[in-house]
Amino acid sequence: MSANRIIIAGGSGFIGRALTLDFLARGYEVVILTRSPRTRADAAREVAWDGRTPGEWCQWLESARAVINLTGKNINCPHTPANLRDLIASRENSVKILAETIVRLNVPPTVWVQASATGFYGDTGDRICDETSPVGSNALATICQEWEAAFQTAKLTATRRVILRIGFVLGRDGGALPVLRRITQFFLGGTAGSGKQFISWIHLDDLVRLFGTAVENADYAGTYNAVAPNPVTNAQFMRELRRVLRRPWSPPAPVFGVKLGARLMGSDPALALISSRCVSRRLKHSGFTFQYFNLPEALINLV
Ligand SMILES: NC(=O)c1ccc[n+]([C@@H]2O[C@H](COP(=O)([O-])OP(=O)(O)OC[C@H]3O[C@@H](n4cnc5c(N)ncnc54)[C@H](OP(=O)(O)O)[C@@H]3O)[C@@H](O)[C@H]2O)c1
């Protein structure tokens, strides 16, 4: 067994793919827990699990350096009662089975880095939220609260624990940016709703460095907002995206238009209309430095 091994549960997705490349490049062994393992061209290994019951996958956690858990049904779906149940269950179940596995190991992983989301704070409006702010009261906040509660109640004494409440991740090959880019290129990149709702974004490269730091720096423990220091409003975000893509002003989408668009795209309007104005007091104090501090540089780099 290897003290150099990083286990990435749910590592086949958008964030996990970037983390895998980074950890491999830095000489780690990477094991991805996935429901659909494939043979890979790189040195990472995909191991089958179902995200809720024990199996042969458990042995890979023995003596691992870190467990990173990104597992969860994608939030980009209509938030019907049935989907909300699946959104919570896929997250809670994965946390519970990882915790149950870790307590049985002879040598548990040094650190467990658990994904959560800035949705924890609910619809923040203009209020600035940091890690000390209370949980919100909408459906996304409930998902995050239950997700984190499963993690916090796990009885693990020998494993350092970190929660990253991740904001809106900006990357080239996944997440919402490629969709926004496409609609903006088709001259539909107007503001959504009032445009006053905030977006707490983070460049994927900074998020990857933050996961790496959380694994390697033993001072990191507890909860951090994984967001760049300067959140922007939806109107500012769309204006900047149009500028970078050299598109003219586009008509705003009223709330009913956002709802219709979300329905046509199999998404949920809350993702575009809810305000999330978050900063990270704890990352600032920890001395974490962002490569992408302001939105314009991040968008120029990505699009
Ligand atoms: N991307 C963002 O902007 C963002 C923002 C805030 C928080 N987050 C959180 O960060 C985590 C990773 O995000 P991501 O963008 O990389 O997500 P993603 O691309 O959807 O990847 C999540 C992975 O979870 C696994 N999964 C999905 N449904 C599952 C289920 N029912 N049971 C077990 N496993 C399931 C899938 O792996 P397999 O199909 O291979 O099993 C999938 O690749 C997620 O929990 C997400 O909520 C992301």
Interior angle at CA 52, CA 115 and CA 83, nearest 5: 70
Q: How far is the CA of 9 from the centre of ligand 1 (A)?
A: 9
Check pocket membership of 267 for ligand 1, CB cut-off 6 A: no
Helix (H) or strand (E) holding 112: strand 111-117
Q: Residue 2 above 70 pLDDT?
A: no
Q: Residue 257 above 70 pLDDT?
A: yes
Pocket test for ligand 1, best of 35, 50, 179, 268 (most atoms within 8 A of CB): 35
* pLDDT for the residue numbered 273: 98
Q: How far is the CA of 48 from the centre of ligand 1 (A)?
A: 16
In angstroms, the CA 105 to CA 222 distance is 22
Q: Which band of pLDDT confidence, cut at 50, 70 and 90, is reported for residue 115? A: very high
Handedness of CA 85, 87, 91, 93 (dihedral sign): positive
The residue written with tokens 């749910």 in the block is 10
Taking only the tens place, the pLDDT of each residue in 89-104 is: 999 999 999 999 999 9
Kindly list the structural domains of the chain, giving each domain's residue range(s) and its CATH number in brackets, ordered by start. Answer: 5-170+201-227 (3.40.50.720)
Closest ligand 1 atom to the C-alpha of 76? 20
In angstroms, the CA 168 to CA 131 distance is 16
Check pocket membership of 53 for ligand 1, CB cut-off 6 A: no
Residues 282/217, Cβ–Cβ less than 8 Å: no
* pLDDT for the residue numbered 3: 77
Q: Mean of the pLDDT values across residues 8-16?
A: 98
Check pocket membership of 12 for ligand 1, CB cut-off 6 A: yes
Residues 160/112, Cβ–Cβ less than 8 Å: yes
pTM: 0.98
**Angle between helix 234-244 and helix 177-185 axes, rounded to 10 deg:** 60
In angstroms, the CA 20 to CA 22 distance is 5
Q: Mean of the pLDDT values across residues 57-77?
A: 98
Closest ligand 1 atom to the C-alpha of 168? 3
Taking only the tens place, the pLDDT of each residue in 165-209 is: 999 999 999 999 999 999 999 999 999 999 999 999 999 999 999
- Residue nearest ligand 1's atom 32 by CA: 90
Among the listed residues 222, 282, 207, the one whose alpha carbon sits nearest the alpha carbon of residue 15: 207
Pocket test for ligand 1, best of 7, 14, 91 (most atoms within 8 A of CB): 14
Q: Strand pairing of 168-170 and 111-117?
A: unpaired
Work out the number of other CB atoms within 10 angstroms of the CB of residue 221.
13
Q: Mean of the pLDDT values across residues 209-228?
A: 98
Reading the block at residue 195, the tokens are: 């445009």
